[in-house]
Chains A and B, each alone.
Chain A
């Protein structure tokens, strides 16, 4: 299915947000996920299913002042 992750169109197999992170080889403990503008807490990542057209943001901490 086609979703938008961090502003880019991506083809993914679907499933839960945890499945999406695994597909992208991202460590769920090291990132924070927003699903259609709503923050999804880590324990709920395997409960929220993605649908075609969803907007997902995956963020982490980088250097900053």
Chain B
């Protein structure tokens, strides 16, 4: 497909010394089945794919891990610490994930509240400092709060991931101003993570100038996940292209597009 983005000069997305082709990253949770998941990942064009660390089910040990369906040579596995409520737990999960032997990147989540799944920023900073010291490339899932984002950058995080809205909510980008401010002030990449519901949300998010977007439920819980993955791919490209193009100024009054001169008497 030809898009205007090819006429625009854009830098590739680089995080922690790794360069990625796509600005859209996708999760692997909540798919109706593994075949739909693999087809959706393909349709999304994402090269970064998140996974979670969990106990092997001993009663069904033949049940293969998600790796059975993903080719680590073609995609970049980004392990998360989802489900962790303390810095200690998140550090433990990150270490286990790294031991799997794929890379030293981790999507760090330290959750502070069960209902909203909003981050515990104190625990997050604590865990980020420890993991950075241990050589991890930390991508920190956080609130859309500038000061926390700055602290995470100071702690050495490779990327900061403010939320669009709560995980799995599909409410879209609730606070574009804050996300824009974070992007403007940080030097490390800003990847919006969580809350996107449909393609327009992805597009609006990318139009804020952020470096990328990560989503899971918006694709996995769509009626047709593969078709939605395709839509998200286009929306991410469109939003990025629109940001690079630079939107027209907003005005409170109309301005005719057609000449006002040359009208008939």
Contacts and interface: CB of A to CB of B under 8 A. Distances in A.
Interface of A: 5-8, 10, 24-26, 30-32, 34, 39, 41-42, 57-65
Contacts, number: 95
Contacts of A39: 95-96, 99
A64 B29 contact: yes
B245 interface: no
Contacts of A25: 61-62
Contacts of B28: 63-65
B27 A63 contact: yes
Contacts of B64: 30
Interface residues of B, number: 37
B99 A32 contact: yes
B57 to A, nearest CB: 8
If over half of A's interface residues share one DSSP class (helix, strand or loop), that class is named, otherwise mixed; here it is strand
Interface stretch (B76-84, B148-156, B184-192, B252-260): B76-84
A3 to B, nearest CB: 12
Interface in B153-212: 167-168, 194
B131 to A, nearest CB: 14
Q: Which of B31, B61, B80 has the most CB of A within 10 A?
A: B61
Contact of A30 (B37, B54, B67, B96): B67
Q: Which has the most chain B C-beta neighbours within 10 Å: A6, A25, A32, A34?
A: A32
Given A63-B37, A64-B82, A6 B95 contact: no
Contact of B53 (A5, A41, A42, A61): A61
